[in-house]
Structures are given as C-alpha cells and as structure tokens.
Amino acid sequence: MSEVLRRYGPVLTGIILLAVAVWLALLVVLPQLMMVDFSFRPSLPPARLGGPEDVYTVRNYATLWTNQIHLAIFVKTIWASALVTLTTLVVCYPIAFYLAQVAPRRRVPLFILMLVVPFWINELLRTFAWYIILAYNGPLNAILLALGLTDEPQRFLGGDAGVIVGMVYVYILFMVFPIHNAIESLDRNQIEAARDLGAGWLRIHRRIVIPHAKPGIAVGCIMTFMLAAGSYAVPALLGGPNSRWFTEIIYNWFFEGGNWNQGAAYAFILLVLCIGFILLAMRLFRVGLTDIAK
C-alpha cells in the first residue's frame, strides 16, 4: 500500500481504491447477496410477492436432496471436475517444468506464444473445434481407422470422455502458468546439486521441485476446478443427456423453468462447493493466502 501511495500519490490512489470498491460492491458482493436472498424465498407469482407465503424457507435447498436425478448429476459434476483438474495437472506439469527449467531462455517466449495464440479464439469456437475433431466422422476417427486401431468409428461425443477432453484443453493455461511461475523461481543449482549427489528425476521432483511449486500447483488446481465445475458451454456442446453438468440444471431452472429461486439455491450450493474446494486445496498443499498471492 505504501508503494502504491508513493508511486501514484494520495489522490490517484484514493480514486483507484474507490473504483475497486465500487466494482467489487456492484459486480461481486451485491449479486451474491441477491442470489442468497432469492435462494431462501419461494417461487411465487408477482401478485403474491410480499404476501403471507413470501417467507424465508430452506425448501429450495432441500429439493436437491430429494431429487435423486439432480443429486446424481451434482455428485457427478464434483468427481468429474476433480478428474479434469487431476488430468490437467498431469498434462501441464511437464510442460511447465520444461518451460521453466529445461527450455533455452531464448526459445521460451516462442513456446509460450505457441500456447497462448490458440486462446486468442473465443472459447465457443475452440469447443466447436473439438466437436469437429471428436465427431463420429471427424478427423480423429479417420486417423484411428487409417492406422487400423479400430474397425469402426467410435462415439467420443455425448459422454463424459469428450467433455473431460474439451475441458482439459480449454483450461490448460490456467494450470500451466501458475506452475511455471512457481518453478521458474527455483534455483537450477539445487537440481544440479541433487543430480550430482545421485538423486534420480523422480526423487528430484518429489523432494525439490514439487515442494517449491506447491503454491503454483494449488492456484492451478483451484482455478481449474472452479472453472470446470462452473462450465456450461463445454458440457452443453460436447456432452449429451447422459453427461449433463450441474450448471446445465442451474441454467434450466433460470431460463427454461423460470424458477429463479430454485436456480439461485442450486447456484449457491455450487458456490459453497467451490469455496470448500479452495480450503481443501490450501490445506492439502499446506499453503496460505499469502503463498497463493505470490
């Protein structure tokens, strides 16, 4: 704070803080408070709002536990989002380590640009690209048939596999960059010293690299899980009736069922789930908010 005051002066610093406070109040705090208020009220016609039936109740929250279909989709969304997070971590950790410690410095900007350029395209278009790749008559099936790895085209769309593949691709940068930033600060001499003492690569990563990169891994896992659990476009485009996401149920309550109160309750349950995952990740990786902020 003192650095900001020194750089911008008290007047400009006050304006910046006021703008941030207004932004947080109008776009973050107020909508959440309205969502909570909606979630505890029954869905009533406009003429009956404010009447004796318009009272606070937990009926909207109880609906999830009594509707076995929605509960199964909610549980599936949790484990599928965790699987997306784990898969993205497995894919991105080697990439981040290579960029941070192995790749020549003069080539790192080119490699990072190669990662970033595809994400200049809108998320919907990138998801549609995977829809084409995974289609029944798409290029992936054509390659598998040409190589003789399968006798007939496979159906990758309409199930959880296509959704998970699409999400891993869509959110890959949210895992790569936090881990890369954490590993980049690791002194290479520590790795060289461990190798000179006879440590193998697995031990080097387990004892040196991963402990140093824990804040970056925690940030990447938190961001990926929250984005996956709250995703709507990817499961809607790449999934099917058997791979519905909890966000699709929320969307249906709001825009098809017209029951904003029930949709708000479901949305708040998902929000609590994401907050719980953040706390679990911080405890699992033994990092605090200060470590994550770095």
CB 205 within 8 A of CB 77: no
In a domain, 277, yes or no: yes
In a domain, 23, yes or no: no
In a domain, 49, yes or no: no
CATH number of the domain bearing residue 283:
1.10.3720.10
Give the Cβ contact number of residue 292 at 10 Å.
Answer: 18
Give the span between the Cα atoms of 246 and 236, in whole angstroms: 11
In a domain, 36, yes or no: no
Q: What is the pLDDT of residue 293?
A: 62
Give the span between the Cα atoms of 188 and 100, in whole angstroms: 10
In a domain, 74, yes or no: yes
Q: What is the pLDDT of residue 1?
A: 59
For the chain, the first-to-last Cα distance in angstroms comes to 16
Which residues constitute the domain of residue 174? 63-293
pLDDT digits (tens, 9 = 90+) for 190-245: 888 888 888 888 888 888 998 889 989 999 999 999 999 989 888 988 887 778 89
In a domain, 282, yes or no: yes
DSSP letter at 67? -
Q: Which two tokens mark 10?
A: 């008290």
In a domain, 44, yes or no: no
DSSP letter at 46? G
Burial bucket for residue 259 (CB in 10 Å: 0-12, 13-18, 19+): middle
pLDDT digits (tens, 9 = 90+) for 78-115: 999 999 999 999 999 999 999 998 888 888 888 989 88
> Percent of the chain at pLDDT above 90?
28
- Based on the structure, what is the number of domains in the chain? 1
Q: Which two tokens mark 36?
A: 């909570």
> Percent of the chain at pLDDT above 70?
96
Q: Please name the residues in contact with 8: beta carbons below 8 A apart, sequence gap of 6 or more.
A: 16
Q: What is the pLDDT of residue 195?
A: 84
Give the span between the Cα atoms of 294 and 289, in whole angstroms: 9
Give the Cβ contact number of residue 243 at 10 Å.
Answer: 20
In a domain, 48, yes or no: no
Q: Please name the residues in contact with 153: beta carbons below 8 A apart, sequence gap of 6 or more.
A: 136, 137, 141, 144, 145
**Among candidates 231, 87, 73, which has minimal Cα distance to 161?**
87
Q: Per 3-state DSSP, what percentage of the chain is helix, strand, and coil (rounded to 5)?
A: 75, 0, 25
